[in-house]
Structures are given as C-alpha cells and as structure tokens.
A and B are shown apart, each in its own frame.
Chain A
Amino acid sequence: MAETMAAEGTVRPTALAVAAPTGRRRWPVYAGRAALVALWLGSWELAGTYWIDPFFYSKPSQIAVKLADWFTEGTSYGSIWLQISYTLQEAVYGFALGAVVGVLLGVLLGRSRFLSEVLAPFIKAANAIPRIVLASLFVIWFGFGMSSKVATAFVLVFFGVFFNAFQGAREVPKVIDANARILGASRLQMMLTVVLPSATSWILASLHTAFGFALIGAIVGEYTGADKGLGMLIAHSQGTFDSAGIYAAMIIMTVLALLAEAVLTVVERRLTRWQPR
C-alpha cells in the first residue's frame, strides 16, 4: 500500500533548469532565441493590426501600453506594486507553510511503516480531490482576505512536497541507515543527519514545481473572491473585456515565477554541493 502511495504524486529529482548555452555556440543560441521572440511578437502585432480583432486577442503594443500604464499610473484598484506584493505574500506564505508541513509529514510517514500504512488510503483520497475547488470553500471559511488564498496555495503545495519527502525518506540506503545506527545515532540525530539530507534532492525537485503551484493557488484564490492581487486584476479585466489586462497580469506572474525559480536554483546548488556534477 505504502509503495503505491508514493509512486503517484512524485516528481523525479532531475535538473529541470534550462541549460545556459556555453562555448562557441553561445551567441548563435542567444540570437536564435531573440529572433524567435521577434518573430512571435511581430507576427502577432501584424495580425492584430490587419487581420484579427485586437478587442478579443489584443496585441503586444496594447499589452505594453497596459503594463506601462499599470506601472506608472497604477491600476484602478491602487498601485500595481501593492497587487504584486499582495499576491506574492500569499504565494510565499502558502509555499513556506506547505513545504514545511509537507516535508515534516512526508519524512515522518516515510520513516514509519505503521503510520504510512494506516494513512495511505486517506492521503490518496485527499490527493485525488481536485483541490482547486477548495478555493471556494476557503473563501467561505476565511473570507476575502489573505488567509483564504494562503490556504489554497498551501493545499496545492503540500501534496507535491509531501509525496516527494515521503519517497526520499524511504530511499535512504539500508547500509547508510545501519551504519549511522551502529555509530550511535539517536532517532532525532538520524532524522537530521541522515534522513533529511538523503531526501534533499527529492524534496528540492518538488519545491521547483511547488512555487508555481503556490502562485496558482494565490491567483485562483483571488480570482474566486478578493479585493487585491493579480488574480483580482485578471477577474476584473475579464469582467471589462480587457484582454490586454489579462495578458499583462500573465506576464507579471510569469516573471514572478521565473524569479522564484532562480532563487530556488541558487538554494538547491548550495544544498547539494556534495553531489557529483
């Protein structure tokens, strides 16, 4: 039972990062990427100007104007920085909470055969719930404030991290476990010096996708009902048929996710210095 429990929700610890081009092909690669962006935006702009209706599909210049407007004049709900910081706070709190609880429970259950066997069906069932629906419930429970969004981000983050931490804790090589016990490790020492480091690469792999989930959670939460945040801006843009606004908010969110990814990559490098590269 416990074996199958892990297999489902895990993300394999692989390098998902886009490789930075190196060596002689560096500049051609950058040039190729720039050309691709120019082609994509140029053709969209052209199409939006001559063939398709920019009211529905918008076009890059309109989106740029919208972004400039948001950053200079502010949105109709206040400064754009206020919206960004609001959404970011919700995502970060949800992420931190989900990651900590996910790691703790995952490692604990990974080390306890009994607990994991008892809880396996419940966790599987909980994981099968389309959790995004909970956002509606959380708005009823916690209101339109920040906590309902943090809760949505939390449930999205928790399961991914939990399953990976669980798997990581189970994959401590038997001989390393035995050796540490012979050397006199107590249960707590075992957790801190053996199990957690051993599960690190599994946990880190899940954290990469988890921050994306935290942002989704925050935004869907805001979309469901809020008075601030990027998700609220999107909901408002939809309500006023402002497709440029939706795109603009999307771009801001993408930038946020990429920045978070960069931070996580630095943290990961630092925590896995011991691994062969």
Chain B
Amino acid sequence: MTQSTPAIRLDRATKVFPSADGGSFTAMREVTLDVAPGEFVTVVGPTGCGKSTTLSLISGLEPASGGHVSVAGTPVTSIPATVGYMFQQDATLPWRTVVDNVALGLRFRGVGKAEARSRANDWVQRVGLGGFEKYYPHQLSGGMRKRVAMAQTLITEPDILLMDEPFGALDVQTRELMQGELLRLWAGSRAAVVFVTHDLTEAIALADRVVVMTAAPATVKTIVPVTLPRPRDVDEIRLDPAFLALYRQVWDSLREEVEIARTKGASRG
C-alpha cells in the first residue's frame, strides 16, 4: 500500500434500499476499504450479498446511505469522470456498430467525430476485433461483445475500473482468454481495479488483494494479499502451489459466509 491519496476510499459506507414490502434492506453495512492507485482488488462473497452495490456507490450510480465514499480524495456526489464500469450484462448500444460503440465515451466527452473514430479503431484492434468494426453487437458472439465493452470502457482511460462479474456469462475457455486479455490491457493502463466475482480462481489469478465479504448485509470479512509475481499467466498460475495455498485460505474464509447465506436463503424461501 502506498502512502499517497487512495484511488478509492470507502469509509464505513452503508447502503440501505427500501424493500418491496415497505420495509428496508441493508445491502452493505459499514464497508471500509482503501484501494491504491494502480491496485487490482477483487471482491468475493456469497451470492446476493451486496458486492455489486459497492461498485454502484463508487461509480456514483447510487448514493451511499451512510459513511463516506471518495474517489481520488474527492467525495462522490455524481458519476466521477475518471471511472469506468464494465457490467455483467451486455451494455453496448445494439443500434451502434462496434466502432461507434467503442467511440461512444469519447463522443460524449466532446471529442470530434473523426478523431473519436480513429482512436476507437485503434482500440478495436487492441482488443482483437480488427475486421469487425462495422458489425452490430447482435452479430457478435458473447465473448466478442465483452471485448467491445472492454474497449468501450478503456478508451476513456479511466483511473478507476469497476468490473461487475464481467466474464460471468462466458464459457470457461473464453473466460480465461478474457482474463488474460484484461491483465494485458490493465498492465498498460495502471488503473485501480475493483473486480467483483464469485469465481475464486479468477479472483486470485487477477488480484493484488482479494476482499472477502460477509453474507448480507455485506461488510469486509478478511482481505487476503496475493503476492504471486506479475506478469501472470492465468492458465498456468492455478497450478502453482502458492496459488493453491491462497485458494484454501480464501475459501476457508468464504465457506462460512456461503453457509450462512444458504441457511438464510433456506429459511426465507
């Protein structure tokens, strides 16, 4: 951890949603977490524990109900310009071609059409979609659409990259491919990353630190530093004995929470 201003600071951040029956549901309770500039943090936790809510608060899509959230030392009141967000679902515009989708962030930020196009073309190449510039999203595979989303997010050169199970819907091989791709592109950008996943292998293979969340309401349970050297080969690393030790450590911590979530879910439904 560096001594400089953290890229992200969550200080006892709490989020309460009104629930359908008129009551309220606490998704996050007093989450405290600092993410340093250029650090890659993954967040794991039981299903439905409120991991994604953390990202909503950092991105400014949802205001915190309590505590403080700041990005680069500034309290988050609206969507910070330096944040990029990759969603679990497809969020590209179906009526725009690949290159126009990638150029979107630049166009919104006032970059001229020609320049935005040419920079977008460059990014389309970088994510390996050369030749597909004029395709519409529905003409691409799920993995290719994720590449579009990745280029769309990275072209704005965010200092903070929020990722909500971005590869969750992909098949195993494509997912591993995309993880490698992400590490490669991230190494060039040095953005601070918060990556939510429920795949422990993915969480450890990508991260500098793995944050384990408790069952709902989510709060930080433990933080496991991942000291495996970089650059990493996502395919190879999972066979490393150090990796296996980390996996056990994270899983031991997570297992209790998964069980709590499961019994809660069982009693509820």
* A interface residue numbers (CB < 8 A to B): 173, 175-176, 178-186, 189, 193-194, 197-198, 200, 273-276
Residues in A whose Cβ lies below 8 Å from that of B139: 276
Q: Is B61's CB under 8 angstroms from A178's CB?
A: yes
Shortest Cβ gap from A113 to chain B (Å): 15
CB-contact partner of B104 in A175, A183, A274, under 8 A: A183
Contacts of A194 in B (CB 8 A): 93
Would you call B79 an interface residue if the criterion is a C-beta within 8 Å of the partner chain's C-beta atoms?
Answer: yes
Interface check B54, CB cutoff 8 A: no
B95 & A200 in contact (Cβ 8 Å cutoff): yes
Q: Contact check, B156 vs A184: say whether CB atoms are below 8 A apart.
A: yes
Known contacts A193-B93, A197-B95, A274-B95; is-contact A184 B109 (Cβ 8 Å): yes
How far is it, in angstroms, between the C-alpha of A184 and the C-alpha of B79 when the chains are bound?
Answer: 8
With A178-B61, A178-B87 as known contacts, state yes or no: A183 contacts B156, CB within 8 Å: yes
Complex: how many Å from CA A180 to CA B100?
Answer: 13
The A-contacting residues of B in range 8-32, CB under 8 angstroms, are none
The total number of A-B Cβ pairs within 8 Å is 65
Task: Tell whether, in the assembled complex, residue B91 and residue A175 are in contact, meaning their CB atoms are under 8 Å apart.
Answer: yes
The 7 closest A-B pairs by CB, nearest first: A179-B91, A184-B108, A183-B105, A274-B95, A197-B95, A182-B85, A276-B138
Please classify the interface of chain B as helix (H, G, I), strand (E, B), loop, or mixed, using the class held by over half of its residues: loop
Residues on A with C-beta less than 8 A from B138 are: 274-276
- A151 nearest CB across to chain B (Å): 34
How far apart are B83's CB and chain A's nearest CB, in angstroms?
Answer: 7
A182 touches B94 (CB 8 A): no
- The answer to whether B96 touches A274, judged by C-beta atoms less than 8 angstroms apart, is yes
Q: Which residue of A has the minimal Cβ distance to B56?
A: A178
Q: Are B108 and A189 in contact, with the CB atoms below 8 A?
A: yes
Give the Cβ gap from A227 to chain B, nearest Cβ, in Å.
46
**Sample of 15 more A-B contacts, CB < 8 Å, known A179-B92, A189-B108, A274-B138:** A175-B87, A175-B88, A176-B93, A178-B85, A180-B104, A182-B83, A184-B79, A184-B81, A184-B156, A194-B93, A274-B95, A274-B96, A275-B94, A275-B138, A276-B139
Enumerate 5 A-B pairs (CB-CB under 8 Å) in ascending A order: A175-B91, A182-B85, A184-B108, A193-B93, A194-B93
Most A CB contacts (10 A, CB to CB) among B61, B84, B104, B138 go to B104
What A residues does B81 contact at CB under 8 A? 184
The residues of A that contact B109 with a CB separation of less than 8 Å are 184
B105: contacting residue among A173, A184, A276, CB under 8 A: A184
Partner of A274, one of B88, B91, B107, B136: B136
Cα A200 to Cα B156 in complex, Å, equals 28
Q: Does B59 contact A (CB under 8 A)?
A: yes
Q: Which of A179, A182, A197, A273 has most chain B Cβ within 10 Å?
A: A182
Q: How far is the CB of B88 from chain A (nearest CB, A)?
A: 8
Which residues on the B side are within 8 Å of A176 (C-beta)? Answer: 91-93
**A176–B97 CA distance with the chains assembled, in angstroms:** 15
A-facing mask of B200-214, CB < 8 A → 1, else 0?
Answer: 000000000000000
CA distance A193 to B59 in the complex (A): 21
B174 at the A interface (CB under 8 A)? no
Contacts of A181 in B (CB 8 A): 61, 79
CB of B90 closer than 8 Å to a CB of A? yes
In the assembled complex, B152 has its CB within 8 A of some CB on chain A = yes
Nearest to A179 among chain B residues (CB) is: B91
Contact assessment for B152 and A183 in the assembled complex, using a CB-CB cutoff below 8 Å: yes
Q: Given A180-B104, A182-B79, A184-B109, A175–B96 Cβ distance below 8 Å?
A: no
